[in-house]
């Protein structure tokens, strides 16, 4: 008797599956399209700041965890620049009894042309810099050290050739 009852369910299940196939496929396709429209979150790797030798102009770091090849084959790297406080001797104090608060560092996303030793800032503190022009380091020892250090690391990692 149980086999007869199960045998009677097979045609009903087949008819239900046939009826629901198109709406379920449409629902699934809609879900895929909707998920594709959601903003994506960039997965950040570990931050590994590499400080370059400080100068009278301030301090600068580049993040070895952010090294990426751009679509044009150049290098993209996150860097951080902190100018000295007025009267600061780069030691964190001004000679007064109370040290002045440190000025916040600025964050830059830099594109670097390692072959020509040129750079451009494509983002400053999260604000895109559209039509940023390529510039030479022009005697800026901080920028030169960032270019040298990040390009050397990127070549060693195979990020750029």
Is 125 within 8 Å of 107 (Cβ atoms)?
Answer: yes
Give the model confidence (pLDDT) of 5-52 as tens digits. 566 666 766 776 677 666 656 655 654 555 554 444 444 567 899 999
Q: pTM, whole model, 2 decimals? A: 0.65
Give the model confidence (pLDDT) of 82-129 as tens digits. 998 776 655 444 444 455 666 788 999 999 999 999 999 999 999 999
Full DSSP string of 57-85: TBEEEEEGGG-EE-TTS-EEEEEEEEPPP
DSSP class of residue 31 equals H
Is 161 within 8 Å of 113 (Cβ atoms)?
Answer: no
> In which element (H, E) is residue 124 found?
strand 118-124
**Calpha distance 152→31 (Å, rounded):** 45
């Amino acid at each position: 008797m149980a086999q007869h009852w199960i045998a009677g369910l097979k045609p009903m299940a087949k008819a239900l599956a046939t009826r629901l196939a198109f709406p379920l496929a449409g629902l699934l396709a809609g879900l895929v399209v909707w998920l594709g429209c959601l903003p994506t979150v960039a997965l950040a790797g570990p931050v590994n700041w590499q400080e370059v030798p400080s100068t009278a102009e301030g301090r600068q770091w580049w993040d070895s965890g952010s090294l990426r090849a751009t679509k044009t084959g150049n290098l993209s790297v996150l860097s951080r620049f902190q100018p000295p406080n007025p009267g600061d001797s780069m030691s964190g104090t001004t000679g007064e009894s109370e040290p002045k608060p440190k000025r916040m560092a600025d964050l830059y996303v830099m594109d670097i042309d390692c072959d020509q030793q040129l750079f451009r800032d494509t983002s400053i503190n999260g604000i895109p810099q559209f039509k940023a022009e390529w510039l030479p380091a022009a005697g800026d020892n901080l920028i030169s050290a960032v270019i040298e250090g990040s390009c050397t690391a990127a070549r060693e990692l195979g990020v750029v050739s």
